[in-house]
Amino acid sequence: DILGSFLPWQDFLHEGPVPESLSLEALSKVRAEFISKKGLGEFSEVYQNFKDRDSTLKSFRKYDKIFLWFEHDLYDQLQLIQLLDWFAKYASTDTQISIISPENYLEKSTPKELREFLLYNRELVTHRHFITARKAWSAFSSKTPQVIYKLLNDDIEALPFLKDAVKRILEEYPNSINGLSRTAHQALLIISDGKQKPQDIFEEYQNSEERLFMGDVLFWDILKRLVEANLLNSMENGRDLKLTSLGVEVLQGKKNLFELHKVDRWIGGVHLTPDNLWCWDIETEQILKYNFSTNKNAIST
């Protein structure tokens, strides 16, 4: 057995608002409000869970050693940089913090492998880790995606899985061809290939990801939004999904979703609205700003 206290972070930071310059306590309230509005719990309960979590974190000085155990996917890497950013502010130089970040999933690991990770695959956190995490967390919570985009060309190798996570969050911006995120586009593509049942669609979507990061609840929410946007027909009380004619046109790039529906979505610190609409250019792998007056995308520098 591995002795000690265990603190799951339990926040899918890749969805919803993460405004810049907020304290841990203020951000926890923002995140609790977002999660409750998604129908994933009563605000009071979600917020209390975050407050309890934060209280445990702030008691870190009573522990001899701290292990930050996070996987290599987007979900975990965002949590890792949030925690390292926080520890950079409050931990002293003699606080012993280590990172365990294996390139596989804990649920697929045997007890023996877990012990080996703890004994042999931990890395002591240094100033370089803190600098990298603070830069990345500030970029993720920035009001413009240009900041996090620049990380793709920066030296952030102190956290070896971070660059792929940065690329993956940028792919969740509406793409410049049809206005769909990578996840939404993949969902429509899977349905167009004949999968109709939500569970089958989700499992096929998971197969399309290099590193799994999204749970089924958030995926169902994306499917729900596609139904609300009239890109999918929900049949048999949602047990079967099928593309509408509009969904086919959007998937083929004949129509762009953000020309049809008002965008109101947060990705990190960026609030996507018709006046602040950014998209991901799949071909050039650049972040662009969409100009409604010309119906064109322009590289923003």
Q: What tens digit of pLDDT does each residue of 58-110 get?
A: 999 999 999 999 999 999 999 999 999 999 999 998 899 999 987 777 666 67
Q: How many angstroms separate the Cα of 153 from the Cα of each of 81, 127, 149? A: 18, 20, 8
Give the pLDDT of residue 167. 98
User: What do you get for the CA distance between the two ends of the chain, in Å?
Assistant: 52
What is the side-by-side order of every strand in the sheet holding 296-299? 278-281, 286-291, 296-299
Q: How many helices (H) and strands (E) does the chain have?
A: 12, 11
Instruction: Provide DSSP, 169-214.
Output: HHTTSPBTTTS--HHHHHHHHHHHTT--SHHHHHHHHHHH-SS---
The pLDDT tens digits for 215-225 are 999 999 999 99
> What letter would DSSP give residue 273?
B
> What letter would DSSP give residue 64?
S
Cα of 216 vs its chain's centroid, Å: 14
Judged by DSSP in three states, 234 sits in strand
Give the pLDDT of residue 294. 54
CA distance 137 to 143: 12
CA distance 90 to 54: 13
Give the pLDDT of residue 236. 76
Give the pLDDT of residue 300. 44
CA distance 4 to 90: 21
CA distance 148 to 23: 20
Give the pLDDT of residue 276. 94
List, in sequence order, every residue forming a beta bridge with 289; answer none if it has no partner: 278, 298
User: Which residues of the chain fall short of a pLDDT of 70?
Assistant: 1-2, 106-109, 118-120, 292-301
